[in-house]
Amino acid sequence: MQGTIRKSRLLGLVLLLLLAFLLDIAMGPVKIPLRDVLRILFSFRSGNSTWQFIVEQIRVPKACTAVLAGCGLSVGGLQMQTLFRNPLADASILGITAGASLGVATVMLAGGGMATLYAIKEMGFSGSWFVTGAACLGAAAVMLVVLILSRRISNNVMMLIIGIMIGTITLSIVSIWQYFSEPELVKDFLLWNFGSLGGVSGGQLFILGVVVFIGLTLAFLSSKMLDALLLGENYARSMGLTVQRARVIIICSTSLLAGGITAFCGPIGFIGIAVPHMTRLLFRTSSHRILIPACCLTGTLLMLLCDVISQLPGSQTVLPINIITALVGAPVVIYLLLRNKNIRAY
């Protein structure tokens, strides 16, 4: 019985997801008839070259980015919540996102001077690859520190606290930088900090796809370990699990997901916290073999809807995605909690 409900809900989610994907591609400040959108999507041809550019070069990459970010962030959040058995954990809890911010700040604020930026440009580095590369390096550096520490610490609560501390230190360095930088540069950095799905296309989208794929594969592989960890570390050990190795795999997976997505899209908050709760409440299970794919679906659906809303249908402007995820996500979580009255599975 339970199984049939779950299956039908999963199927419903898939259908909703397809609908949301289509909605995200069909809606935008430029009105394009749905028929033409579909024609461009399926035959890659249309009488109107402007529409074709908008659909192929803007809307489809943006929707794909939303799918990748939605999957990655929610699965990362689920892994952290289970690993630390803490309902407030999300993909950015270990400071990986902060590390990416530090990388971007290094490039954008460049020691606080226009002159340094200019010098960097003269050296031949430029463009969005540079920023993205720096973000990846920053995230990787923090991940390395976290991994080295995780080898020496046996306790997950300590790991959690140390992760938060590392994140705080990293963000303080960014703040110092911001404080001493020129207003224009800070503004650029602030815009990056708002998060955006619209800046990823072409080769970048491909790289993001590969990173998220690796991260998700690791997550799927770790679902058994996550199930065991839910019962407590001691119990997991008694089941024959090497807790520290499991931890390394889980941290690697989350770091790849959070670091990669933050590097390309900027920090996107809330999805990582909210989606695992929604999924658990929706599917009433704590088995990660169901939760991980369900999280992918729910996260993607929520991200696509947030993207549609952030375009403010009917207007010419766009709101930062980070604002919308929180504005839309929080009430949904509160509603679900009030209906179910308890958080399970920790």
Looking at 198, 213, 224, 333, which residue binds another protein (CB under 8 A)?
198
Residue placing its CB nearer to another protein in the complex, 265 or 291: 265
Give the nearest distance from C-beta 173 to another protein in angstroms.
17
The CB-based long-range contact list for 105-111 (8 Å cut-off, 24+ gap) reads: 105/173, 105/174, 105/177, 105/178, 105/189, 106/134, 106/138, 106/177, 107/131, 107/134, 108/185, 108/188, 108/189, 108/192, 109/177, 109/178, 109/181, 109/185, 109/186, 109/189, 110/185
Residue 47 in the binding site for another protein (CB under 8 A) = no
Residue placing its CB nearer to another protein in the complex, 30 or 88: 30
Give the nearest distance from C-beta 307 to another protein in angstroms.
10
CB 189 within 8 A of CB 178: yes
Give the nearest distance from C-beta 59 to another protein in angstroms.
7
Helices (H), the chain: 2-26, 34-43, 49-53, 60-83, 96-108, 114-122, 127-152, 156-179, 183-193, 202-221, 223-230, 233-238, 243-265, 271-283, 288-310, 321-340
In this chain, which stretch among 73-81, 186-194, 244-252, 332-340 interacts with another protein, using CB under 8 A?
186-194
As a whole number of angstroms, the distance between CA 200 and CA 61 comes to 7
In this chain, which stretch among 48-56, 80-88, 275-283, 330-338 interacts with another protein, using CB under 8 A?
48-56
CA angle centred on 21, ends 16 and 24, rounded to 5°: 120
Which 120-139 residues touch another protein, going by CB under 8 A? 121, 126-129
Looking at 3, 203, 240, 314, which residue binds another protein (CB under 8 A)?
203
Looking at 22, 41, 153, 188, which residue binds another protein (CB under 8 A)?
188
Residue 211 in the binding site for another protein (CB under 8 A) = no
Residue 202 in the binding site for another protein (CB under 8 A) = yes
As a whole number of angstroms, the distance between CA 324 and CA 192 comes to 15
Looking at 172, 182, 244, 346, which residue binds another protein (CB under 8 A)?
182
Residue placing its CB nearer to another protein in the complex, 172 or 182: 182
In the complex, the residues that contact another protein under the rule CB under 8 A are 28-30, 49-50, 53-54, 57-59, 62, 113-115, 117-119, 121, 126-129, 179-180, 182-183, 188, 191-192, 196-199, 201-203, 266, 311, 316-318
